[in-house]
Structures are given as structure tokens and as C-alpha cells.
Structure 1
């Protein structure tokens, strides 16, 4: 068992060295980020060096005990091969992104032997609250083909073939499905926040430790993962065997032991993917949902256990990945149609309550226009080439403190007079204490005025993107890119307005950084 530490340390260190030596984008971590970055920023292009090196690194991470998912290398290979072939075959410019994303989703369909999961993955993964419907036809063809070819070559075996579910749907099952969905919304947000903090912590350590910091962090991360594996070996690796036992409903364990496994799995996953490992987050997220729901059902004496495990997996996936149909389809393809109603109910509740927060990035909230796409490409290109400069610059260095505000009790006619005087296109709305409530735009005010409506400006209030003055320019840029807004507003801890940052000003700074 002590050899576990040597394996995990060697795995994370080797993965880090391979990526830093051979990849163009020298960042390890969740491969869904690479897929989304290529899709949103590079028009569906993934450099062959990234495809090959990160696929190998992912296999090493998984094989040596790192906590990650096998969909990672499958997505990279599918998307990377499509990116090269589509350009060799001179596929039209507008179809490049579609072929890339549908081929990455085909990797998901093949590795899970679940074609409908692959189809809906392609439709849902680019956005938190939207559907990429343009890719539907390509996703159907690629996912079904990938599934058929995998079965033809490897046989019809399924990773969870022995799972059979049949039960009578009762009000009790529906009630506790909703309860699990509510809990998973907050557990998913907690895991997302933990993963984000771990990433910031790793980046900060790497910048302070210099050029050899990445390798040193991989060694530290490998030792930490190995030590947690010594506490309970089920928290490291893919965990497929343990996950299968939980999904089949035949596994029993003390509730406190399950809680320990849950905490350790969250920590090992965050450490693996932020300290040098490469892989997916899909399976670890399912694992966390399954462990919690099993502990919940065991504590309350609920049966059948496999129903609640299915509900927990789907709702955790919906919370973390901001996908609604994909988790339902995955569970339905694994368990059969009996599970759809309670699983759908829990997934909807978790999806709605967890809010627009995702464990993967860049996953935009909605489909964005051409200007926002151009800004996103500029932001992420700068981040790839000069990350240290972008992280060193703070919001306070670029924000403007001379902001014209409108009080919340001001009416439309008076607000237009203010707008006529200053000539800006948007204005933050504050209360009497200077607390930011949102913002109003000129076009909304003019529309209300033309309708002859003279109401308080709060009737035209829009939600504002907010940042703190000590956040990095990259973090502020991410929020602007994902929202598609023209500005974000700087607030203090209490929510009082301090200033604002314009998207066009950030773009000007990014161009200066990029070409200096």
C-alpha cells in the first residue's frame, strides 16, 4: 500500500513534464477546458501537439492512480482528430466548430457506450443556460457512428451492463428525489468553489516558485493524493468498480465511512487536476453524487438504493456541469427507462437552484454575439501567451472611479435628462447608501419614454456583472466574456459601488499586452 504514494507522485509528475515539454498550451487539468477553449476561442482548432501530449498525460494520470475521468482522453482524441481532418478536407469555415464539438462528444459516446449521452453533451456543454442547436445533426451522426464502431471492435459489453432497475414509483421516491436535488445544488456549488480555489492556489504557488514550481507542485500533489489513498483507496483512480457497486444497489457501508470517502474524493480530484494531472471531471462528479446519495439513503433507511444513487449522480452532474438532458440520458442509458421520472425531477431542481456557476470553463451563460466572441478570443489568446502579465494586473489598475450613477427613485424622464447631459450608453443604479442595484441602458430608457411611461428607472433595471477591486484582470475579463456585457462594476465587500471597467478598455489593454 505505501507504493500508492510513489505511483500517484510519478503519475502527476510525468503528466506535468509531458505537457510542459510537448504541448502548445502548457496547462494541465480538466480536458473539458481544452475542448471548450478550442470551440469558443479557436474556431474548433486543437493543436495536434496538445491532442497527443495531453491524451498521453491523461492516460498516465489515470493509470497511476490520479482521480479523474476516462472521458478526458476520448474527448481530446475525438476533437483533435476532427480539427486536423476537417482542415485537411477543406470543410467550410462555419462548419469547423460543429465538426470539432460533435467529434469530441463522440468520444464521450464511445467511452460510456451511450450515444444519446454524447449527442446531448454536444448540445449542452458550450453554454450554462442555452443549447448549441446548430451542432445537432453532426452530433447525432458522430455519436451513433462512434458507438457502433466501438461495439463492432470491442464487442457489445457495457461498463455497467449488469445494472437492472425495476421499481414502483411512489410519492416517497419523488419527494426524496426533490430533496436530493436541492442538496446536490448546494453540494455542486461547494465542489465547484473548492475546485476553483484549488486552481487559484496552485497558480499562485506556481508563480511564486518560479520555473521549477510546476514540477515541485506535481510532486507535492502526488504525495497528497497518495496519502489520501492510504486513508481509503476508493478515493483515488477512476473508481469504476466502486461506482458500479453503488449503482447496482448491492453495496452497503457505514454512513460515516461514506462521508469520509466523499470528502476524500473531492480533495483528491481537486488536487489531481490542479497539481499536474490531466483528465476528465465527468466520472468524479458522478462518483461524488453517488456516494452522497448512498449515504443519504442509508442514513434514512430508504429503498431501493439504486434509485437514489441514480438520482444523486444526475443531479450532481446537472449542478456542476450545467447540463440538464445529458445526465438524464446517461442514467437512462445505464439503468433503463424506469429511472427517468425521479432522475429528471432531481436534475431540474439541482440545475435551477445551483445558479449560473460551472466547474468547467469557458462555459458561457448564453450564446453570445460577434463582438463578445471577438473579445473572448482576444482574452484567451492573451492568457495563453502572457498569463503572468494578465494575472498580475488587478481591476484597481484599470477601473475608472468617475462613474455617473442614477438613484433608484429617479424616474425615466429625469434619467434621460442625465443621459443627455453626459452622453453615456449605460448607467449604474444605486440606492441612497450607494449600494449597486443594477444598471440601465439608454435604449431601454428611450423605449419607455416613447411609450409614454414615466416610471422609476428600476422598471428597466438589468443585473450587473460585479467584480472586486483586488481581482485579476483575467478574472474580470472572464466575467465580461461569459456575460457578453459592455461593462462590469467594481463593488466593495458590502456591495457599494466603487467604479466600473469597460469591455472596450479591457480589449485595448489586452492588445497592448499581446503586441508589446
Structure 2
């Protein structure tokens, strides 16, 4: 027993302490190299981001970025965080080595030539890719590989932002809108701390934002007002999400005339940059100016609000029309500048704490990373901003619901069987989806609202399911009763246990059932006709069987491995 315990302890230390320490060291060095490369480009190009040179520089930067991703990375440019989430959820961290190399180069060119994006995006890709490659070399398999992949992504983000706790929390929060990936927390700590230490040892300890002196504990007014600020910034966040998603929908990358669209995107950014140059680049200087009473505060309200709009547009154009990068820092920029505008519109005195709280609220709303947003302002601006940031962030996070910028962000962490469903449905991209009437199975057991619990338990024992449908005397679906709820209750009849959820219709597609199972976390959904009469049931296994057959047929048709 002692030997077994000793072996388990050694394995745990090796896997979750020593390996992360080694990975963090490599990440710190590579991240410093990436930043040096970006700084070199920015210092060389930034003097030409003015009329008339800007109309050559920005289209050229977009085109170079796009060509590198297309022909070196065999992929398309865009938000690096989207790619990291795709690799985490669908590929256990795996990704094409060429794409992993091309993405940071493309991102450095995008931002170095004036594109509006954040350095944290390519940093996530760098850290995750390094952790994945080293994990494979060290013999790590399966779920542990994806855990280390995400820990590496967080370590690199914490290094580039010089905020290691932010990187750790971002890694555990960003996969889901209403859940966390708690397994990442332990390896992310040593990996993040070492990556940060080595990074600052190479590039220096200078904070990314100007240091603010004289900040004190927030007043009762500032804490109360931060809730109202969260309301305001929730609206700005929804506008940002809408504009970004709209540009995502009309994105022509990889299609006919894509090069023309990329050049037009660069020219659009150049035109905006001529009018509002502060909206270009990563924007650290503007964020710093928004935190100082002698900075952005000296500008007029109209200019400040126009800057918010310009940043939303430039970021959306950059990441959907040829450029690559992140969305975290643009969210900080928009939140901070919008908060300055709000204070000026209301005639309130300048408050760097409320500006910091606004920056956190925007990240919480758009990135769905509330704790990381609060940690970021605490690490980079002031720990006195924690409470207002929590209040503003929680308000904006709540009001924006599940809406966010990242397409591969799930609502909840799926069960392992649901992970298989998620991945196989993603692999089997079908031109024509089957309807649920083709996949569903008949419901052999059903309850009525008047049944007692003993009858319900007997039907559960026969069905083997964790949920049963409840129908009225005409056969119409009323709701469902779940076994876990029944076992914890002290009621005597079914009526009080009915969960009145929305069933799926038999003419809806298999993809709708997949989304329902993944979002609800329940492995069973009931199907009705348009009169709401119960027709059948769909289980996780039914969908996996359906997509497995489709995937096999795709392989037979093309004579190749469909995976």
C-alpha cells in the first residue's frame, strides 16, 4: 500500500508539477521572442501609420498576414482564441504544426502594421502549442494532454500581460460561458508562475499600463455606481458582439475574391485610422491614458464615444478581414474608454477605479471570464478596484447572458459521453441533416401527472433512463420527471416533480438535438409533433450512432479515413 501511494505521489508530482515547470520555462522564452519580434515590426512600421502611407501599410499588413495563414498555416486568419478553444474542445489540444507556427507570425504582422487586436490571442496559441508538443514527447495521453494544453495557453497569456493570476483564471474560465475547467488549475499554477518569471527576466518588469498613484479604497458611491456602470457596459458589450458577429458572417476568407476583400479591409481600417488613429494597434497607451486624470479625460465626450465606436469597428474588421490576434485587450480598451465617456456625460468626477471596473466589466461580458477580468485589473491597475470590478463585471456578465465573442465557447462542461457526441457531430459535417423523426426511438414508458411516486419508480426501473416524459390524457407532452429529483424529494405524486421544459419537434434536425444535449447537460430529450403530442425520445447514444454511420459513409464514399 505504501509503495502504491509513493508511486502515485511521484506520478502526480511529475505530471502536475515538474512537467509544468519545464513547459513554463520554454513558454517564457518563446513568448519573449514573440514579443521582441512584434516590437521590431511595430517600431519599424508605426512611423508610417499616417496619411498617405497608411493606405499602403495597412492593406499590405492585412495581405501579408492573410497569405501567411493561408499558405504557411493551411488555415484562415482571425481570433486566435477561437482556434485555441476549437483545439481544446475537439482535438485534445492537437493542431497542425504549420498553423501553430504561422498564427503568431501572422498576428505579429497584423498588430505590427497597425491592426486592432490583442497580443494575448497569439500568446494563447503559442503557450498551448508548446504544452501540447512537449506533452506528446513526454508520453502524456488523452484528457491530461488537453489539460496541459489549456494550462500552457493560460501561462503564455499571463506572461504577455504580466499578470500570471489572470492567465491562470482565464484558462479555467474561457472554455465555458457558465462553467469552469477546474482540472487545469493545478498545473496552470507552476506553469504560469515560471513562464511569467522567465518572461519578465528577459523583457523587463515594466507594467503594460502606466502606474497610477494615489488610488484609495473605493467610496460607497463608487461601489454603488459600479452596478449602474455594469448596466451601461452590458449594452456596449452587446453592440460589440453584434458588430463582430456580423463581420464574421460576411467574412469571405478562403472564398472567391478573398484577396480583394482583404485589401478592402485594410483600406477601411486606414480610412478610420486617418480620422481616429488611437483606434489602431493594441492600444496600451490609450488604456493608460484613460486611467489618468490628465489623459483621455481632457478630450470631449463626442471624441471619446466616437473612439469607442471606432475601436469596435477596427477590431471587428481586423479579425474578420485578413488579420489575426486576440480580443481580450480590445475589450479592456473599449470598457475603459466607454467608462471615461460615461463619467463625462453624467458630469461626475474622474475616477480611475470606475474606469478599471468598466474595463473588467467589458471583458466579463464579451469574453465570459469574470474572475480573470477582476484579477487583471487588480494585477495591472490596482487591487483597490477589485470590489467595483466584481460588481460591474457581474452585472454586465449577467445581463449579456450566454452571448459572447467566441464561437467555440460551450455553455457547460459536457460529460465525457457528451464530449464524444460533440466531436463526432463536428467531424461529420453533413450537407443535409437528418430530421429527428428519422433518428428518434419510441417511448415505451410515460407518466401522467396523477401518477404516484411508486409507479414512477417502477417505470424508471424498467426503462433504465434518468428521465421520463409526462403526458396529459390526450397524449400531449407536459414535461419531464428526472430520477435524481425524484430521489431527493419528499412529495407523494408526480405533479410536483414535473420540469416543464421545451421538447424538440420531429421535423427539427439532429444538430438541434446535439445543441440541446450539450447546453442542458442532459443525455435525453423528448420529441413531439406540431400538436405537442409525444412521438419519441432521442438519447446521446442514438445521436452518436447516427453520426458514426454518417462518418463511416463519408469514408466509404471518398475512399479515405474520414477522421
1:222 and 2:266 correspond: yes
With normalisation by structure 1, the TM-score equals 0.83
CA RMSD of aligned residues (A): 4.0
How many pairs does the alignment contain? 497
Q: Distance in 1 between the 2:440 and 2:227 partners?
A: 46
Q: Distance in 1 between the 2:447 and 2:232 partners?
A: 36
3-state secondary structure, aligned to 1:160: coil
1:332 and 2:381 correspond: no
Name 2:60's counterpart in structure 1: 10
In structure 2, the CA distance between the partners of 1:473 and 1:410, relative to structure 1 (3 Å rule), is closer
Name 1:453's counterpart in structure 2: 492
Matches within 5 A, 1:505-516: 506-515=543-552, 516=554
Please point out which of 336, 345, 358 is paired with 1:312.
Answer: 358
Q: Distance in 1 between the 2:332 and 2:224 partners?
A: 21
Please point out which of 245, 262, 266 is paired with 2:289.
Answer: 245
Deviation at 1:43, TM superposition (A): 1.6
1:257 and 2:303 correspond: yes
In structure 2, the CA distance between the partners of 1:443 and 1:194, relative to structure 1 (3 Å rule), is farther
Q: Distance in 2 between the 1:468 and 1:63 partners?
A: 52
Please point out which of 166, 169, 193 is paired with 1:117.
Answer: 166
3-state secondary structure, aligned to 2:414: coil
Deviation at 1:402, TM superposition (A): 10
3-state secondary structure, aligned to 2:248: helix
Give yes or no for contact 1:395–1:469 (8 Å, CA) kept in 2.
Answer: no
Residues 118-159 of structure 1: per-residue CA shift (max 9 Å, x gap): 121122222222232222221111111111111211222121
- Where in structure 2 are there 5+ consecutive unaligned residues? 1-50, 555-563
Question: Which deviates the most, 89-98 or 73-82?
Answer: 89-98
Q: Distance in 2 between the 1:171 and 1:20 partners?
A: 53
Q: Distance in 1 between the 2:442 and 2:243 partners?
A: 34
Give yes or no for contact 1:164–1:248 (8 Å, CA) kept in 2.
Answer: no
In structure 2, the CA distance between the partners of 1:90 and 1:212, relative to structure 1 (3 Å rule), is same
Q: Distance in 1 between the 2:409 and 2:353 partners?
A: 30
Q: Distance in 2 between the 1:173 and 1:354 partners?
A: 22
Residues 179-200 of structure 1: per-residue CA shift (max 9 Å, x gap): 0112223332332233223322
Residues 275-330 of structure 1: per-residue CA shift (max 9 Å, x gap): 22211000111111112111001111223332221011001111111112111111
Question: Which deviates the most, 314-323 or 126-135?
Answer: 126-135
Q: Distance in 1 between the 2:521 and 2:214 partners?
A: 44
Q: Distance in 2 between the 1:2 and 1:431 partners?
A: 73
Give yes or no for contact 2:218–2:385 (8 Å, CA) kept in 1.
Answer: no
Name 2:73's counterpart in structure 1: 23
3-state secondary structure, aligned to 1:29: coil
3-state secondary structure, aligned to 1:298: helix
Matches within 5 A, 1:123-134: 123-134=172-183
3-state secondary structure, aligned to 2:250: helix
3-state secondary structure, aligned to 1:454: coil
Question: Which deviates the most, 474-483 or 221-230?
Answer: 474-483
3-state secondary structure, aligned to 1:85: helix
Residues 375-412 of structure 1: per-residue CA shift (max 9 Å, x gap): 12223344xxxxxx54x5468698879998x9999445
Question: Which deviates the most, 248-257 or 137-146?
Answer: 248-257
Matches within 5 A, 1:66-465: 66-167=115-216, 169-202=218-251, 205=252, 211-250=255-294, 251-252=296-297, 253-382=299-428, 390=430, 392-393=431-432, 410-411=449-450, 413=452, 439-441=479-481, 443=483, 447=487, 453-456=492-495, 459-461=497-499, 463-464=501-502
Deviation at 1:177, TM superposition (A): 0.6
Larger RCO (CA under 8 A, 6+ residues apart): 1
Residues 446-504 of structure 1: per-residue CA shift (max 9 Å, x gap): 648x95522536x431655979989x976874564454344678999xx9999997655
Q: Distance in 1 between the 2:451 and 2:57 partners?
A: 66
With normalisation by structure 2, the TM-score equals 0.76
3-state secondary structure, aligned to 1:453: coil
Q: Distance in 2 between the 1:198 and 1:38 partners?
A: 23
3-state secondary structure, aligned to 2:480: strand
- Where in structure 1 are there 5+ consecutive unaligned residues? 383-388
In structure 2, the CA distance between the partners of 1:491 and 1:359, relative to structure 1 (3 Å rule), is farther
In structure 2, the CA distance between the partners of 1:399 and 1:169, relative to structure 1 (3 Å rule), is farther
Give yes or no for contact 2:436–2:506 (8 Å, CA) kept in 1.
Answer: no
Residues 37-76 of structure 1: per-residue CA shift (max 9 Å, x gap): 2222222223321210111111111112221101122111
Q: Distance in 2 between the 1:306 and 1:173 partners?
A: 10
3-state secondary structure, aligned to 1:280: coil
In structure 2, the CA distance between the partners of 1:504 and 1:189, relative to structure 1 (3 Å rule), is farther
Give yes or no for contact 1:161–1:334 (8 Å, CA) kept in 2.
Answer: no
Q: Distance in 2 between the 1:93 and 1:258 partners?
A: 49
